[in-house]
């Protein structure tokens, strides 16, 4: 079944446009620019909406960026899908994924929402998890209590470059999704993920051998003088010369 609706998740406004939570916006905006589609604000749907032309066999597919903030992403999607009679299996939601490192991009249908507030609202409004997801890795702060602040922060230059590379790989397979070859798109995307060059790990510095410590010099013990007999030398001579004299 071909994808007829591509929804990028994020938060509207200048203060959020460069944050990790807007990775879904980044991908859809780049795809619209490549395809020559114009995203226009539609107050009826509370979203930026564009439609693809006939180039590449993607005629009729809709591109949507909800402008109702992440926690209410499901409302614009529900209204558009209902208006154009688009089934859940024909919807592709693009979003940030903290469980993947920057540079990862994965495609799947259904599954859990892993605490993502945008997906939570979408699943509740569609009453199903069976829409497709294109997940863009943004990394994890290491503490689940810090995730909310982390996704609303800007990635480092290194992480942003990795995220952009993942988006570029995902854009290569997006036409396959729109044409209905989702299994082929999944295989190609995940194969490209495995073929990424391994990160160079810093080589350990050679350990310098410690110079042998000089052996301690033996302590010189003072020479012991022979103990003189009682009475001294004179007493000894006297006893030898006069053996019968009492001492």
Active site amino acids: 21
Instruction: Give the gyration radius of the chain's Cα atoms.
Output: 40
The residues, any chain, with a CB within 8 Å of residue 7's CB and separated by 6 or more, are: 24, 28, 64, 65, 66, 73, 77, 91, 92, 93, 94, 122
CA distance 70 to 22: 9
28: number of Cβ within 10 Å: 27
User: Chain centroid to CA 9: how far?
Assistant: 18
CA distance 155 to 65: 21
């Amino acid at each position: 079944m071909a994808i007829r609706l591509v929804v990028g998740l994020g938060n509207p406004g200048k203060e959020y446009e460069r944050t990790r939570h807007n990775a879904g916006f980044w991908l859809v905006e780049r795809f619209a620019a490549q395809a020559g589609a114009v995203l226009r604000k539609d107050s009826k749907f509370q979203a930026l909406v564009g439609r693809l032309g006939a180039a590449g066999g993607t005629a009729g597919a809709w591109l949507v960026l909800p402008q109702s903030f992440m926690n209410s992403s499901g409302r614009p999607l529900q209204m558009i899908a209902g208006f154009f009679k688009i089934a859940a299996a024909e919807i592709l939601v693009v979003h940030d994924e903290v469980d993947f490192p920057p540079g990862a991009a994965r495609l799947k249908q259904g599954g859990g929402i892993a605490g993502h507030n945008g997906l939570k609202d979408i699943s509740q409004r569609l009453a199903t998890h069976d829409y497709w997801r294109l997940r863009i890795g943004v990394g994890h702060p290491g503490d689940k209590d810090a995730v909310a602040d982390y996704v609303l922060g800007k990635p480092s230059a290194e992480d942003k470059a990795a995220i952009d590379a993942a988006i570029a790989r995902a854009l290569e397979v997006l036409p396959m999704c729109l044409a209905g070859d989702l299994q082929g798109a999944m295989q190609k995307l995940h194969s490209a993920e495995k073929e990424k060059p391994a990160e160079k790990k810093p080589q350990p510095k050679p350990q310098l051998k410690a110079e042998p410590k000089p052996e301690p010099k033996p302590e010189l013990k003072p020479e012991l003088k022979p103990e003189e007999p009682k009475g001294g030398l004179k007493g000894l001579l006297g006893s030898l010369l006069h053996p019968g004299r009492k001492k």
